[in-house]
A and B are shown apart, each in its own frame.
Chain A
Amino acid sequence: MDETTLIRHAANGDASAWEPLVQTHQQAVFRLAYLLLGDPDDAEDIAQETFLRAWNHLKRFDQTRPLKPWLLSITANLSRNRRRSAGRYLAALTRAFRDEPSPASIEDKSTQYMEANDLWKAVQNLKEPDQQVVYLRYFMDLSVAETADVLQVAEGTVKSRLSRALEKLRAIIKQEFPVFIEEHEGREA
């Protein structure tokens, strides 16, 4: 069955049609929540909640639209709410303290991982709307149209947000992770 048919069945209360849809999109949903929250336990909670909410509101979902942007939109909203919870910050701080990697374990990681992790840290310095657009476009590899669909804004808005976010990100990287920019400029030359 294709996705549209599965959605139609699920919207009519057929839970068995919902399961393959969850399986298809669970990685994207979990990863976006992880990017936004930085904690796998929180990301798992949000991912579950995303699919439960989507299930409960499937009847209102426009079945002519792709499911993934809608799911990611719910994920982004739920993650935003979760970030506002003071309790979560305390828990995250505790985990960060507990899980702080040792210098030795950092050395074990590949250069690619290190770069990606530095980029993630740099993005975390951006404001929340800018983070969202960067994660969706560059980390989740969504098109501008899909990103606009997730954020429920016009494509032009996505482009202007991206432009603004990129300028800020570049400035942050230049200051905090200059190697990244040097390599980048070296490649351009």
Chain B
Amino acid sequence: MSELERELFEQRLISIAKGLDYPRTPDIAVAVMTRIRPAARPRFISRRLAWSLAIMLVLVSSLLSIPIARAAILEFIQIGIVRIFPRPTEPPVDMISTATAGSITPMTATASLPSATFIPSLSLIAGETTFADAQQRVSYSILVPAYPPDLGQPDYVFVQDNDGEMSILVWLDPRQPEQVLMSLHLVPQGSWAIEKAEPQLIEETNVNGQRAIWATGPYPLRLHNGELDFTRLIDGQVLIWADGDITYRLETGLPLDEAIKIAESLQPIP
């Protein structure tokens, strides 16, 4: 198309598009204000309730839910905001808690989780958004792995912002898109606290010269926020490291050396 042809074509498009018969615009303002105004007074309670519902959805959706177990915790290894408790002789428990009420620790899985249960439950995780929106909403730079080179952008992005902006990036396995290849959590210093106890295996390693921990399941995962408390089984491997104020948690079915390469390749999105 020549420049002139293009211009004429554009003008025609605009002219024709104006004739589109849109449905009458509903009164969005009334519906929105009804939803905003009741929330304005008990805002804190409503947010808590919303997050509680999200947590409950995850709980209900999980076929792997198990009764709550409480571990005796005496000593721990600290990486960023994560505390890892060595495994005694008791059954393992990976305990995750939040310092603020209502926050939800993202449910993630590895390739070893049954795909039929994981993908539907992805849609139940609160806070799905786009990468661009996530970056706009959080106060830190969301880094993504440059390795492997063909990884691309995450298939799912979540921001769970409840007085603590946790970002969760999820990549599906391109060869088996019903399965998760890996997920990366970025947790800022502050309101969140994660406690991981008694994984099957704890291996000290390093990422970019910084101390890191490689923990292997299966083990129960406990989510706790003061009022809500439930446990589900995680059957995966997690690499945990910190860089400045951000703690990273990479869940993947890939081996440790690959996980480290991924971790060391984090960079701002080009």
Stretch from A1-9, A27-35, A89-97 at the B interface:
A27-35
B21 contacts A77, C-beta separation under 8 Å? no
Seen from chain A, the residues whose Cβ lies within 8 Å of a Cβ on chain B are 13, 15, 18-19, 22-23, 26-27, 29-31, 34, 40, 43-44, 47-48, 51-52, 55, 57, 60, 73-74, 77, 80-81, 85, 109-110, 112-113, 115-117, 119-120, 134, 138-139, 141, 152, 163, 166-167, 169-170, 180, 184, 187-188
Taking chain A's interface residues, is the majority helix, strand, or loop, or is none over half, making it mixed?
helix
A29 CA / B136 CA spacing, docked (Å): 20
B21 contacts A170, C-beta separation under 8 Å? no
B32 contacts A52, C-beta separation under 8 Å? yes
Stretch from B23-31, B187-195, B230-238 at the A interface:
B23-31
B16 contacts A48, C-beta separation under 8 Å? no
B18 is an interface residue with CB less than 8 A from chain A = yes
B33 contacts A166, C-beta separation under 8 Å? no
A113 CA / B22 CA spacing, docked (Å): 10
5 A-B pairs (CB sep. < 8 Å): A19-B32, A22-B32, A26-B27, A112-B16, A184-B12
Residues of chain B lying within 8 A (CB to CB) of residue A116 = 16-21
A113 contacts B1, C-beta separation under 8 Å? no
> Which residues 1-47 of B have a CB within 8 angstroms of A?
1, 5-6, 8-10, 12-14, 16-23, 25-29, 31-33, 35-37, 40
Residues of chain A lying within 8 A (CB to CB) of residue B128 = 81
A188 contacts B1, C-beta separation under 8 Å? no
Residues of chain B lying within 8 A (CB to CB) of residue A81 = 128-130
A184 CA / B129 CA spacing, docked (Å): 40
B22 contacts A26, C-beta separation under 8 Å? no
A15 contacts B36, C-beta separation under 8 Å? yes
B70 is an interface residue with CB less than 8 A from chain A = no
| Neighbour of A113 across the interface among B6, B20, B23, CB < 8 A | B20
A55 contacts B21, C-beta separation under 8 Å? no
B123 is an interface residue with CB less than 8 A from chain A = yes
* Beyond A47-B28, A73-B132, A138-B10, 20 extra complex contacts between A and B, CB < 8 Å: A13-B40, A15-B33, A18-B32, A22-B32, A26-B29, A27-B25, A30-B26, A48-B35, A57-B137, A77-B132, A81-B128, A112-B19, A113-B20, A113-B21, A117-B21, A119-B13, A119-B20, A169-B13, A170-B1, A188-B5
B40 contacts A60, C-beta separation under 8 Å? no
Residues of chain A lying within 8 A (CB to CB) of residue B136 = 60
Residue on A with the closest CB to B6?
A166
B31 contacts A48, C-beta separation under 8 Å? yes
B133 is an interface residue with CB less than 8 A from chain A = yes
A166 contacts B1, C-beta separation under 8 Å? yes
Chain B nearest CB, measured from A35 CB (Å): 8
Tell me whether A31 and B22 are in contact in the complex, defined as CB-CB below 8 angstroms, given that A48-B32, A77-B132, A166-B6 are known contacts: yes
Tell me whether A55 and B23 are in contact in the complex, defined as CB-CB below 8 angstroms, given that A74-B133, A188-B8 are known contacts: no
Residues of chain B lying within 8 A (CB to CB) of residue A23 = 29
> Which residues 47-86 of B have a CB within 8 angstroms of A?
none
A96 CA / B21 CA spacing, docked (Å): 17
Residue on A with the closest CB to B139?
A60
Residues of chain B lying within 8 A (CB to CB) of residue A13 = 40
